[in-house]
Chain A
């Protein structure tokens, strides 16, 4: 027995996105959650399930007594930062499908100034855990860790900066159509991309996600219940998590094949439990803390062969409306907002509802992924059939 088609996202909500917002992380979380419940048409007193990231600073008890939730019978948290998002929703779906709760709220609220938003900058002088094998040599930030894999990927498969630019430019074009995106008014040319300052060669400024304040929430209920609510349901057709053999978080340089990340493992369970294949996917939201995660994820989730992810981005392959797989249609982490990938889930729901600002015509299936390079997760959302 799987959870296939048994639950749905019935409501989504979000705050404004901006470089800096005056509200606290807790106030933003409450705002996004109440907006999501209102979107679904569900009273806060009905909520009995809660799930967020281990990195989320707002504990369940505080959120529950602010938002006025009822008696909560299931709560949980998912680890690994950007790898968590789809796992948060997927675990809530499992809890709803197994009767541990009936209405689950899921969320992420994040301020760039908060202590957890730049963990690398709080490095103490003595490092324990797996980072003691990289940071003493100046491999400090997430961008450095992914840049190391990117250089190797470019070397093995002939990917170029032009391919990475394809990712950044597609997201920016989509953000320019999305009034909620922080980069809505800022266009980008290929020349601007190529002239941008280095952050960690071979990655430049525009290969990085934004730094944003914002919160996003989603409400998970049974598919049956969702049919009677305010919005067309985004059915959770399949869900996967992945932690592949001998993976080391972020600095995944020590297994036989470091370019094969957790996405490959997540994809196995996702497609195994689905009635669909990558060819059925109309639109995708792929976690993009860094541009190279898109080609790596396209390969991991089976949209192309090994090493073909870069070429997949050519000729506007990721762009709305005519690309072979319109991807990150809200602008995502690189051009809408960086909310640890939770805004990608909201955009996946909008595509299924038909309300995206870059709506793929007749979209019935949307893949949403969380971060590659860390233990990860993914959701396959479909329209109700």
Chain B
């Protein structure tokens, strides 16, 4: 089965988030870094809350992380997600800075579906690494496999 989820909601890419999605298309997991004071931030936003600078750089992360929390959604769900339910959603904390977290899914391998891992085996704190999965024609989503 293709891991793609037909009609799943996708991000509306804008001037703030474009470099993140350019990164995933290239196989890079990028976060913003303030060009003035160096503070990293995610999700992307225009201003650095530490120094109020609008100058942004993007830094590629190693893609290594740990599971911070996870859930297993069951119906009723958006129709797009019904065929793959129950599936998992995880929040990971990046190795570079555990206060940088991202929402994703734990999957068995880079081509697998979001219901490919037995939820009973997922544990908080386990090590994961990023993989990149096309979702529609323009967007590549980061997901996660066991490290």
- Interface flags, A200-233, vs B, CB<8A=1, else 0: 1110000000000000000000000000000000
**Candidates A127, A133, A151, A248; contact of B124 at CB < 8 Å:** A151
* Given A137-B141, A155-B124, A254-B101, A200 contacting B8 (CB threshold 8 A): no
B35 near A: Cβ within 8 Å?
A: no
A197 lies within 8 A of B9 (CB): no
- Interface flags, A251-266, vs B, CB<8A=1, else 0: 1011110000000000
Beta-carbon nearest neighbor of B139 in chain A: A136
**Candidates A133, A155, A198; contact of B103 at CB < 8 Å:** A133
B74 lies within 8 A of A200 (CB): yes
**Candidates B43, B49, B69; contact of A148 at CB < 8 Å:** B69
Beta-carbon nearest neighbor of B74 in chain A: A198
Beta-carbon nearest neighbor of B45 in chain A: A130
Interface centre among A144, A254, A256 (most CB of B within 10 A): A254
**Chain B 69-98 interface residues, beta-carbon cutoff 8 Å to A:** 69-74, 77-78, 81, 84, 86-87, 89, 91
B68 near A: Cβ within 8 Å?
A: yes
Shortest CB-to-CB span from B108 to chain A, Å, is 16
Whole-angstrom CA separation of A199 from B75 in the bound complex: 7
B101 lies within 8 A of A147 (CB): no
Whole-angstrom CA separation of A137 from B81 in the bound complex: 10
Shortest CB-to-CB span from A153 to chain B, Å, is 9
B114 lies within 8 A of A138 (CB): yes
**Chain B 7-64 interface residues, beta-carbon cutoff 8 Å to A:** 7-12, 14, 17, 42-43, 49
B9 lies within 8 A of A135 (CB): yes
* Given A152-B69, A155-B124, A140 contacting B103 (CB threshold 8 A): no
**Candidates B14, B71, B135; contact of A201 at CB < 8 Å:** B71
- Interface flags, A178-209, vs B, CB<8A=1, else 0: 00000000000000000001111110000000
A121 lies within 8 A of B78 (CB): yes
A65 near B: Cβ within 8 Å?
A: no
A123 lies within 8 A of B68 (CB): no
- Interface flags, A229-253, vs B, CB<8A=1, else 0: 0000000000000000010100101
Contacts of A126 in B (CB 8 A): 9-12
B105 near A: Cβ within 8 Å?
A: yes
**Candidates A200, A251, A256; contact of B72 at CB < 8 Å:** A200
Whole-angstrom CA separation of A139 from B73 in the bound complex: 8
Interface residues of A (CB under 8 A from B): 120-121, 123-128, 130, 132-141, 144, 147-149, 151-152, 155, 197-202, 246, 248, 251, 253-256
Question: What are 8 contact pairs spanning A and B, CB under 8 A?
Answer: A138-B8, A138-B84, A148-B69, A148-B71, A200-B74, A253-B91, A254-B101, A256-B99
- 3 closest cross-chain pairs (CB), A and B: A132-B11, A201-B72, A152-B69
